[in-house]
Chain A
């Protein structure tokens, strides 16, 4: 197999004995090792082969789930028992968790084969994957460009055909934006759908785990395994999970789809707008009623996000003190040990956000920043809820731009933060959102975002699948523009 197939393809091949999980794992390991984009931090060869052998046994019993034997990649912010987990930070250098995240356990339970851990912006803080302590990730469509972030490594591992799916985390767009910039499907579930237990915390009220896949159906299959209450995460909802593939073939005829006018702002690249407008016309031609709607507080979302997210992060990252795990740089006393350890262990962007967050929570500023941000957060949620009284889903661009050059925005944090202007309102409101490929602009992928009401992921998949079925964008591969040596083909 030249590249990892879809889940359906793999399941069929495994059941007809045309291949084995072990063979698939060896091929995926070879591709990961030959990866030219710095997408991987750990290739867990032994771990993957052990899982693959177990998957083969399970398949031979004739009673294996769809994901059994399917190779996948795990963003290195998701804890994996006995496999080093660093969040791409020096401060977690050498940290091997004694337990796996619930999402990893669930995929283990399905028999999926984890090939390794992927690169990311340090502690998921970034939109370009340039903030990794272990170097930037390159976009397979043009290696001089970023893949987006923070889940850049996971996005590339799928976009480059190295694995069938990958897990990322999305706090302000960290799955959807790199999904858009690398031409694949990237999805963030409703807040509370998926357990965060064992996922290194960045901004607790915004973080959600979700998949990268080639197709909407694959996305729904992986979500089916991930969704559901976890007794170890008090913020997961005690809701039954319906069949997420139920509506994939229903089409959008008769659906009402909203287009928020605030998402077509100055600053959006013309090629991106063109591709997204064309996608909306396609949905309309399939029988959806398109309606322009307004989310007036959209331009406040970025400000709200850059209060709440750093505030939560400043507390979440306090545990990296050199006492129990990870890096420790000894000083003459306790405070100096803290300063040296954290000074050496954290990168510039992480420090910037911790300073921002600490400031926003300080006495005298708390009300003006944190409390006010929470109030605006409520307003943003209410605006979405009001709009969802009129429409079934929203369609928007995922990112205002296509992939930009490595280094182009590193010295301008504000410009960098604007990458997430269409994705982070979804996190602030806790809604589900998916990005699917909707064509190219200047030869680079553009993403279409579908946003659904709370817990209506099945509706979101319905819209995304209808679009995907009518177009060929998801079949495009980055090899055409790649000037770098391609990965080993078997």
Chain B
């Protein structure tokens, strides 16, 4: 199967994602792993500073989360796995080696599914996902550099995809799907904006020329820290490789991959090193740690406690609750929203109306206040109560919005607010009819216009009734009575 494309070449993309795990403490010491925004070198101890004599003690939770991630990505968890030392010297790496995993990673041979460019589901292979420790951070000044070791030793999962993506949009879909899965599985918050997730992206181009398939060596674009950077850098680099080929440039003779960086300022990549200059990391088993043999019971326990993954959950929301794809996608994008939805429905609320109130008012409030779903002040049961009032037409949609705002502000339940403020909808025909009579006599001109054939004049009369009842009158009853009386 080939996709019609305007490009004369195919892009081949593989992504190595580094993502910090959502543990409280670091990978090998008890220091807090919540380093973002902390004053430099305040979350450190002999272990993560690499002081002489310090020894690593593995964080059990980090190992469990890594396996959780692997299982969510349909990986196998081998029976034998171990840590290795990856040796290289750099000032942000205090021990002169990074504890990582070389030949026996925690997870191998998985996949995730995206929607491919042709609109059909496409599986992207996961070659491996291994656990390692993050480095410190360098802060460069004028003629000097400072090192902050707060991030040193934070657990990092490196997820290596197969080179299965064939376009920028597929690469973005992969990054998005991965992010969604890891957040759903409770493995990581995937905070790209804090540098807690990064992409190293391998890009190459493949095309036919003179009847032969050409596939020159790839570029590895290091440290992309946003989806936008991923998109721009891959677009730029694949185009650059093609132009270089057309111009008879160095790519025609190069035998090995190159490593490049991405400059968002210039919108260009820049050469970091050639393969020939690549370091020999001299991996060997970490003698300070014992090899791991995750028991099959542990693996099965983690597998059975995996939450439902987003793609499955979306499909279920559509099938079970009759939601649109669009609503299902929004709800599932955040586990808390999905839980709020299902909680409200379980409490008896109408599914469609509940979905509308979450994707509408709730998200609007979150956006306006720039807060996360965790800060939603009401419970699923309270939302269900509000939806119940609306469906049973005890309050109108307009009143419901006021009640919603009040729920947010006062944290009271909707029924209590309605009772307290006397907002219950008036559906009593006699009461409404008397107000309609008042409005008809008060707005003679509108009545005349309506009877003269201007049907829009009805809206003015309707507004009059709603105004006099402070919005509490049942709009459907008002409309019917009005039309009857105006004959």
Contact = CB atoms under 8 A, between A and B. Distances in A.
Interface of A: 78-79, 85, 87, 92, 95, 97-99, 101, 196-201, 203-205, 231-235, 311-312, 314-315, 317-319, 321, 323-325, 334, 338, 358, 361-363, 366, 370
A196 B91 contact: no
Interface stretch (B16-24, B53-61, B246-254, B421-429): B53-61
B287 A205 contact: yes
Given A204-B287, A204-B288, A323-B147, A361 B54 contact: no
Interface of B: 46, 49-58, 85, 87, 89, 91, 94-97, 147, 280, 282-284, 287-290
23 contacts: A79-B52, A92-B52, A95-B52, A97-B53, A98-B46, A98-B51, A99-B46, A197-B54, A201-B52, A201-B288, A232-B57, A233-B57, A234-B55, A234-B57, A235-B55, A235-B288, A235-B290, A315-B284, A318-B96, A321-B96, A323-B147, A324-B51, A363-B280
A60 B85 CA distance: 50
Contacts of A317: 96
Nearest to A318: B96
A247 to B, nearest CB: 30
A200 B52 contact: yes
A199 B284 contact: no
Contacts of B284: 311-312, 315, 361, 366, 370
Contact of A319 (B52, B147, B288, B290): B52
Contact of A199 (B46, B53, B89, B287): B53
A231 B57 contact: yes
Nearest to B85: A315
Given A197-B55, A205-B287, A234-B55, A319 B282 contact: no
A319 B88 CA distance: 10
Most B CB atoms within 10 A — which of A199, A232, A319, A358?
A319
Contacts of A362: 280, 282
B53 A315 contact: no
Most A CB atoms within 10 A — which of B46, B52, B56?
B52
A232 B55 contact: yes
A85 B46 CA distance: 15
A200 B87 CA distance: 18
B49 A318 contact: no
B26 to A, nearest CB: 14
A319 B55 CA distance: 13
A323 B289 contact: no
A358 B97 CA distance: 13
B155 to A, nearest CB: 15
Given A87-B52, A95-B52, A197-B54, 19 more contacts: A98-B51, A99-B46, A99-B51, A196-B55, A199-B53, A203-B287, A204-B288, A232-B55, A232-B57, A234-B55, A234-B288, A235-B288, A235-B289, A317-B96, A321-B89, A323-B94, A361-B87, A361-B283, A363-B282
Nearest to B56: A234
Contact of A85 (B52, B56, B57): B52
A361 B53 contact: no
B103 to A, nearest CB: 11
Contacts of A319: 50, 52, 94-96
What does DSSP make chain B's interface, helix, strand, loop or mixed?
Answer: loop
Contacts of A338: 89
A323 B91 contact: yes
What does DSSP make chain A's interface, helix, strand, loop or mixed?
Answer: loop
Contacts of B49: 324
A317 B87 CA distance: 11
Nearest to A203: B287
Nearest to A358: B282
Most A CB atoms within 10 A — which of B50, B55, B290?
B55
A18 to B, nearest CB: 38
Contacts of A334: 91
B279 to A, nearest CB: 10
Contacts of B51: 97-99, 324-325
Given A87-B52, A324-B50, A234 B95 contact: no
A34 B87 CA distance: 44
A98 B54 CA distance: 11
Nearest to B95: A319
B91 A361 contact: no
Nearest to B145: A334
Nearest to A359: B282
B96 A234 contact: no
A87 B95 CA distance: 17
A289 B97 CA distance: 50
Contacts of B57: 231-234
Nearest to A78: B53
Given A311-B284, A318-B89, A79 B96 contact: no
Contacts of B55: 196-197, 201, 232-235
Contacts of B289: 234-235
A203 B56 CA distance: 15
A98 to B, nearest CB: 7
A233 B57 CA distance: 7
Contacts of A318: 87, 89, 95-97
A323 B290 CA distance: 29
10 shortest interchain CB distances as A-B pairs: A318-B96, A361-B282, A204-B287, A205-B287, A198-B53, A200-B52, A79-B53, A319-B50, A319-B96, A363-B280
A101 B91 contact: no
Contacts of B280: 362-363
Contacts of A85: 52
A312 B87 CA distance: 11
Contacts of A311: 284
Most A CB atoms within 10 A — which of B85, B97, B283?
B85
Most B CB atoms within 10 A — which of A87, A315, A362?
A315
A234 B287 CA distance: 10
Contacts of A370: 284
B146 to A, nearest CB: 11
Contacts of B50: 319, 324
Contacts of B56: 234
Contacts of B46: 97-99, 198
A200 to B, nearest CB: 4
